[in-house]
């Protein structure tokens, strides 16, 4: 957590300045989505925070939409929030723009749709059933560490054609990557890079038909990718789908633990899960990408100047009452559709894993509610969550009658 406060630039109006640390939204409310909502209710269209290098936070749906989709004015390859640590590898494709970004991204797309998607989901479904059956008789589990974080890892291993035996190691790193201590987090990221780099080297020499092989032997703008680019891109595919999916499942599980009529309806009418999953996803934005402005733009009288950085809390879009009345409620009769919300972003960087993530959420709900339709939070062990570039659920103890 950065403690040094940046100086407020002259063009930032005093009424837009808020001392908000994106890594500590829990200080506003322990339920992070409620914390964002409270802040949204009392804020102008954008606020400016002196924390983490000094940056804007778009607070309203119309600003979020423009910032995420207008890649001419808001670039991904500039300064991030928090500033990328010195010497850290850039994440690819998210920290790139234009033709280079399109080239990087083209390697991923064939693996997150069609047959590879179906194969990955089948593998994750098998694992979900095994995990639930493994702890069902205990009458309790930690939803995140015993269940949700394992599914996206299994999906990644399927996309890159690696065995399930690697899952416990990646799960142990995934736990550390979510910890608040920056040094520990960076060390775990380093181990993920190392893990991926081993397979990158192997598959550069002996390519298969998997995603790592495709990236490792890919060319961009008429030249082969560098090893740094290859490892950066393979690692982002791993990281991009890990905490996001596991945390969204965690928020959904916690919500269903206390919203009993909603849970009973989904259990009684499982066909609603696939039909209405977008409304559930709308409610729990978890990603927080950054942008840097390269031109001056005005939003509702507030001027963002070229060079300014922005942190986009996608959660705020799904909570904006001007788009979603009674936004905190999951209303299965609301006609939400992925094109209307920003949980997966929009524009050239829109999440390539959106269909995959959506299928993961569906399979989790189907397999869980079939086997454990009634469960509750554990009174003396509350959910532990953390805000930041991904709003994460670190731990969620649940209990039920075995």
Binding stretches for ligand HEM (CB under 6 A): 68, 76, 93-94, 105, 108, 112, 236-237, 240-241, 244-245, 248, 286-287, 289, 314, 343-345, 349, 351-353, 356-357
Let me know if 315 is exposed, middle or buried by CB neighbors in 10 A (0-12, 13-18, 19+): buried
What is the rounded CA–CA span in Å between residue 319 and residue 323? Answer: 8
Let me know if 317 is exposed, middle or buried by CB neighbors in 10 A (0-12, 13-18, 19+): buried
Nearest alpha carbon to residue 71 among 345, 389, 257:
345
CA separation, residue 366 to residues 52, 258, 273, 356 (Å): 40, 18, 7, 15
Nearer to ligand HEM, 203 or 349 (CB): 349
Q: How far is the CB of 217 from ligand HEM (least distance, A)?
A: 18
- Cα dihedral 132, 389, 173, 106, rounded to 10, equals 90
Report the residue number whose CB is nearest to ligand HEM: 353
Report which secondary-structure segment, H or E, holds 301: none
Q: How far is the CB of 322 from ligand HEM (least distance, A)?
A: 20
Nearest alpha carbon to residue 341 among 355, 359, 358, 320:
320
What is the rounded CA–CA span in Å between residue 288 and residue 138? Answer: 36
Q: How far is the CB of 374 from ligand HEM (least distance, A)?
A: 25
Q: Which two structure tokens, joined as six digits, stand for 78?
A: 């500039």
Q: How far is the CB of 212 from ligand HEM (least distance, A)?
A: 13
What is the rounded CA–CA span in Å between residue 380 and residue 261? Answer: 24
Nearer to ligand HEM, 216 or 286 (CB): 286
Nearer to ligand HEM, 203 or 291 (CB): 291
Contacts of 128 (CB under 8 A, 6+ apart): 147, 151, 363, 364, 367, 368
Contacts of 134 (CB under 8 A, 6+ apart): none
Nearer to ligand HEM, 25 or 356 (CB): 356
Contacts of 269 (CB under 8 A, 6+ apart): none
CA separation, residue 129 to residues 82, 126, 139, 164, 357 (Å): 38, 5, 16, 15, 18
Nearer to ligand HEM, 81 or 108 (CB): 108
Nearer to ligand HEM, 49 or 236 (CB): 236
Ordered DSSP codes for 64-88: HHHHHH-TTTEESSS--SSPPPTTP
Nearer to ligand HEM, 12 or 364 (CB): 364
357 C-beta neighbours (distance < 10 Å), count: 23
Nearer to ligand HEM, 35 or 50 (CB): 35
Q: How far is the CB of 309 from ligand HEM (least distance, A)?
A: 13
Let me know if 66 is exposed, middle or buried by CB neighbors in 10 A (0-12, 13-18, 19+): middle
Q: How far is the CB of 287 from ligand HEM (least distance, A)?
A: 4
Phi, psi of 269 (to 5 degrees): -125, 70
Where do runs of H (alpha helix) occur along 4-113? Answer: 32-41, 61-69, 98-108
Q: How far is the CB of 6 from ligand HEM (least distance, A)?
A: 22
Q: How far is the CB of 65 from ligand HEM (least distance, A)?
A: 11
Q: How far is the CB of 387 from ligand HEM (least distance, A)?
A: 14
Nearer to ligand HEM, 43 or 359 (CB): 359
Q: How far is the CB of 102 from ligand HEM (least distance, A)?
A: 9
Nearer to ligand HEM, 12 or 147 (CB): 147
């Amino acid at each position: 957590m950065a403690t040094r406060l940046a100086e407020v630039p002259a063009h930032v109006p005093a009424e837009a300045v808020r001392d908000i640390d994106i890594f500590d939204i829990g200080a506003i409310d322990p339920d992070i989505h409620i914390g964002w909502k409270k802040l949204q209710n009392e804020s102008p269209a954008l606020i400016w925070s002196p924390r983490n290098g000094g940056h804007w936070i778009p607070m309203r749906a119309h600003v979020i939409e423009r910032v995420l989709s207008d890649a001419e004015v808001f670039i991904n390859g500039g300064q991030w929030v928090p500033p990328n640590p010195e010497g850290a590898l850039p994440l690819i494709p998210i920290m790139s723009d234009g033709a280079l970004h399109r080239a990087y991204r083209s390697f991923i797309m064939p693996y997150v749709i069609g047959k590879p998607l179906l194969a990955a989901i089948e593998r994750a479904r098998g694992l979900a059933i095994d995990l639930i059956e493994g702890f069902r008789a205990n009458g309790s589990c930690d939803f995140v560490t015993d269940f949700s974080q394992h599914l996206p890892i299994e999906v990644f291993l399927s996309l890159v054609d690696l065995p399930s035996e690697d899952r416990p190691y990646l799960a142990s790193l995934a736990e550390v990557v979510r910890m608040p201590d920056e040094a520990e987090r960076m060390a775990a990221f380093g181990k993920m890079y190392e893990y991926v780099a081993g397979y990158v080297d192997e598959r550069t020499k002996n390519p298969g038909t998997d995603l790592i092989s495709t990236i490792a032997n890919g060319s961009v703008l008429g030249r082969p990718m560098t090893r740094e680019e290859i490892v950066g891109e393979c690692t982002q595919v791993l990281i991009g789908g890990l905490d996001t999916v596991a945390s969204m499942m965690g928020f959904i599980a916690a919500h269903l633990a206390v919203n009993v009529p909603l849970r009973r309806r989904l259990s009684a009418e499982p066909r609603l899960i696939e039909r209405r999953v977008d409304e559930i996803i709308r409610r729990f934005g978890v990603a927080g990408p950054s942008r840097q402005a390269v031109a001056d733009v005005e939003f509702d009288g507030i001027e963002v100047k070229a060079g300014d950085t922005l942190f986009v809390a996608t959660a705020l879009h799904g909570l904006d009452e001007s788009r979603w009345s009674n936004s905190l409620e999951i209303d299965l009769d609301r006609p939400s559709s992925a094109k209307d919300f920003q949980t997966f972003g929009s524009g050239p960087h829109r999440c390539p894993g959106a269909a995959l993530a959506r299928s993961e959420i569906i399979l989790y709900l189907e397999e869980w509610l079939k086997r454990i339709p009634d469960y509750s939070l554990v009174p003396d062990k509350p959910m532990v969550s953390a805000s930041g570039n991904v709003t994460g659920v670190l731990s969620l103890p649940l209990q039920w009658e075995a």
